[in-house]
Amino acid sequence: MIERFSTDAVRPHDRLDYWNCLTEQTYPGTLVDQNDERFRAEMLRWKLGELVMIRPRASASTVTRAPTATAGERVVLHMQHRGRGSHRQHGRVAELSVGDFSLCSAQSPYRLELAAHEFMVVEMPRDALERRITSLDDCVARRIPGSTAGGRLMHNFFLSLWQQGDQSDTDPAWQQGVANVLLDLVGLAVRGAAMPPSGPNALRERALRVIDACLGQPELGTALIAAELGVSVRTVQNIFGNMGTTPSGYILARRLARASELLALNHEMSITDVAFELGFSESGYFTRCFRQHFGTTPTRWRSQH
């Protein structure tokens, strides 16, 4: 079952203790530290076959993990869905931005220094990953760019798993099969990292990757894309001008395309939930945009798919 946890119902001075109990329960040896009493965090947690997956969102903080005794060595994948972070292990530092990911060994101490962030995290058996990645130790605490074809495919697969909702009642063999697909995609993404985008379309691919990763953020726009890419606002406008559109036009089209998928795949989500999940400030505006784009309302679209 997908479990949901939040600090919102916890008194401010108790929130960090609550969050640390939760993270220790999920991934033993994990400690979160920060100095702001306004700390807020929420987490989705899910088991898929032999994989333990979480999707935490939290204020700026430092996360450390100490090794603990386990039956077999584990590797932890952290995919940056929002914000930035520095991942440190074995004397290496991986600087991650939106869409990037890293691998850390749970058998050695590691440290994450994070701005306000959202992650998708999965803990995997090392032996299962070694069958898919040669020289796995060389990949630990390295930045794996999310702008590659393999990185984008893996990120989209992660998101699709959450969008499918609770699958805990499904056949265990099916769950393990999906877990194997995820492991295969991780292997493809790591191998594809040796061939990052290059040439005249590299910056465009990075911009599109930022948008796909940040669709749920209401503040997503030209300025945020420029900040993530480290370029000027004008450069971002030119990227989309060459595509025959604008940043805001492309963002709206991607949000509506993702909304149509969510409406068809997850009938338990309300129209308002879908709107907020994809960064719309209110459901009425979302419905108007959806009708203008698809020629029908979200409710009718759902009933027809």
Q: What is the pLDDT of residues 204-235, one digit of tens each?
A: 888 887 888 778 888 899 998 998 888 999 99
Q: pLDDT at position 290, please? A: 95
pLDDT band for position 22 (cuts 50, 70, 90): very high
Residue with tokens 């040896």: 29
Q: pLDDT at position 200, please? A: 64
3-state SS of 81-121 is EECCEEEEECCEEEEECCCCEEEEECCCCEEEEECCEEEEE
Q: Is the Cα torsion angle 266, 268, 274, 276 positive or negative in sign? A: negative
Of 2 and 187, the one with more pLDDT: 187
Domain limits, CATH 1.10.10.60, in the chain: 202-304
Q: Is the Cα torsion angle 84, 165, 212, 287 positive or negative in sign? A: negative
pLDDT band for position 165 (cuts 50, 70, 90): low
CATH architecture of 202-304: Orthogonal Bundle (1.10)
Q: State the Cα–Cα distance between residues 72 and 63, nearest whole angstrom.
A: 23
Average pLDDT score over residue span 59-79: 88
Is the distance from CB of 82 to CB of 57 less than 8 angstroms? yes
Average pLDDT score over residue span 237-264: 92
CATH architecture of 3-192: Sandwich (2.60)
Domain limits, CATH 2.60.120.10, in the chain: 3-192
Q: pLDDT at position 247, please? A: 95
Which token pair is 161?
């798993």
Q: pLDDT at position 195, please? A: 60
pLDDT band for position 194 (cuts 50, 70, 90): low
Average pLDDT score over residue span 175-189: 90
Q: What is the pLDDT of residues 96-125, one digit of tens each?
A: 887 789 999 999 999 999 988 888 899 999
Of 193 and 198, the one with more pLDDT: 193
175-189 burial, b for 16+ CB within 10 Å, e for fewer? Answer: beebbeebbebbbbb
Q: pLDDT at position 301, please? A: 92
Give the mean pLDDT of the chain: 87
Average pLDDT score over residue span 36-49: 84
Of 299 and 229, the one with more pLDDT: 299
